[in-house]
């Protein structure tokens, strides 16, 4: 009798675990499939097919502005069954809130419906040289110092961290590494007070410089104040803005997005190509024409979605090329597409295949998986190589995204970001 009770309890527990597992599976599947933000163009019906057991309510005080399945709904609570295909449209730009309910019962999440004007961008695909200066002096790490007395010291241990930015020393603003070195030497070994930005907060720390065996005072910090590299210009807008890379500039040592004070993009020439192969990404080797004559524009932002700024007058011809409409996430399809990039001496189109699409916002720079199918590009580079980041992706005569990363184990494949992620930084 007792064994039967134990058996029943075990079955009940297994049933409970199965139910919990099923709910968690549905939850994470929905999280991955439903984005945090949906964009639609004003005056145009957009089609969606999530095939999820969710009811959605759109909250708006503008009665009759939103239409569902081509029908205007005269209510400020518009209900949508997301298990079936549906269309959304709006006669007015603005932001609206969509409340999702799992199985139509439980509040699940809120997503933003952003109704925007149609945007035209000029796809570029030209190589650029990038130079940025950090906003403060970036701390990369710490090291030991052998003092004059032969002992080892770590002055910044538990005081400065990798990723900190030194802004001031003893109340004096520091602009570059040379300023930091000079202030440390002027201390003569007395404590110095550092104003530091850490995770967007400012803190003050005191450090005691150590006189090293070479007679110079040091604090044992590895620091950086600028960086440069080669990438690809994704687009310019008809208003004179530009976007490039499709991902942010991160420090090679810390892996963190760099805070920049200023930066520029320059014309660049591709000099040679290191072909990609399994386990080793290839690279475009370029020469940056770092002079005022070849300055393409000024960098204003370094974000997770790329770098953005304004075009200089020297390169106004970039604004006179033929623009394309942007393609929103829901318009991107698996199948053939093209990328624009410069491998030799001119911008060319190369064939690719879009293999998977993730419209969730979990990773802004990896929403699209692409595979290079163009034999010319495969022969020259082996696939996607470093320096091609930012190459615009074109499908159905619309600019839909930009190349961001290469698969280390398979250079024929890589990631792309949706163009609407980049456009957010122009708004």
Which one, of 119, 110, 118, 116, lies nearest residue 37 by Cα?
Answer: 110
Strand-pairing partners, residue 59, are: 77, 97
H or E stretch covering 378: helix 375-381
* Interacting residues of 271 by C-beta distance below 8 A, sequence separation 6+: 285, 286, 287
C-alpha dihedral (294, 296, 302, 306), degrees to nearest 10: -120
Q: CA 31 from chain center: how many Å?
A: 20
Q: How far apart are alpha carbons 77 and 89 in whole angstroms?
A: 15
Catalytic residues: 247, 374, 389
Cβ atoms within 10 Å of 312's Cβ, excluding its own: 17
Cβ atoms within 10 Å of 234's Cβ, excluding its own: 33
Which one, of 43, 31, 26, 46, lies nearest residue 329 by Cα?
Answer: 46
Q: How far apart are alpha carbons 232 and 267 in whole angstroms?
A: 10
Q: CA 33 from chain center: how many Å?
A: 19
Question: Which 8-state DSSP code applies to residue 322?
Answer: P
């Amino acid at each position: 009798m007792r064994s039967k009770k134990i058996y029943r309890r075990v079955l009940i527990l297994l049933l409970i675990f199965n139910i919990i597992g099923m709910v968690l599976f549905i939850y994470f599947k929905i999280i991955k499939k439903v984005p945090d933000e949906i964009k639609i163009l004003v005056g145009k019906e957009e089609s969606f097919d999530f095939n999820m057991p969710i009811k959605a309510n759109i909250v708006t005080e503008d009665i009759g502005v939103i239409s569902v399945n081509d029908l205007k709904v005269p209510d400020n609570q518009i209900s949508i069954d997301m298990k079936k295909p549906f269309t959304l449209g709006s006669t007015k730009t603005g932001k609206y809130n969509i409340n999702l309910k799992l199985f139509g019962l439980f509040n699940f999440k809120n997503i933003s419906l952003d109704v925007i004007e149609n945007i035209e961008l000029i796809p570029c695909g030209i190589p650029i040289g990038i130079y940025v200066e950090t906003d403060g002096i970036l701390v990369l790490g710490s090291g030991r110092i052998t003092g004059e007395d032969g002992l080892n010291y770590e002055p910044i241990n538990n005081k400065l961290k990798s990723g900190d930015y030194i802004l001031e020393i003893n109340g004096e603003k520091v602009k570059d590494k040379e300023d930091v070195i000079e202030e440390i030497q002027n201390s003569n070994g007395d404590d110095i007070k550092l104003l530091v930005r850490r995770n967007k907060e400012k803190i003050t720390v005191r450090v005691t410089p150590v006189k090293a065996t070479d007679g110079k005072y040091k604090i044992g910090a590895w620091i950086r104040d600028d960086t440069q590299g080669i990438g690809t210009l994704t687009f310019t807008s008809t208003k004179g803005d530009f976007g490039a890379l499709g991902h942010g500039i991160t420090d090679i040592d810390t892996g963190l997005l760099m805070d920049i004070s200023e930066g520029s993009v320059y014309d660049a020439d591709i000099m040679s190509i290191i072909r990609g192969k399994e386990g080793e990404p290839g690279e475009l080797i370029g020469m940056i024409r770092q002079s005022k004559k070849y300055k393409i524009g000024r960098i204003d932002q370094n974000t997770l979605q790329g770098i953005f700024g304004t075009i200089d007058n020297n390169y106004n011809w970039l604004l006179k090329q033929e623009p394309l409409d942007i393609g929103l996430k829901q318009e991107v399809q698996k199948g053939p597409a093209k990328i624009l990039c410069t491998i030799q001496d001119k911008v060319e189109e190369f064939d690719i295949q879009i293999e998977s699409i993730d419209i969730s916002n979990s990773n802004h720079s990896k929403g699209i998986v692409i595979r290079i199918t163009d034999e010319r590009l495969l022969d020259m580079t082996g696939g996607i190589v470093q320096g091609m980041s930012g190459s615009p992706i074109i499908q159905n005569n619309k600019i839909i995204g930009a190349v961001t990363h290469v698969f280390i184990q398979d250079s024929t494949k890589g990631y792309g970001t949706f163009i609407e992620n980049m456009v957010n930084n122009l708004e």
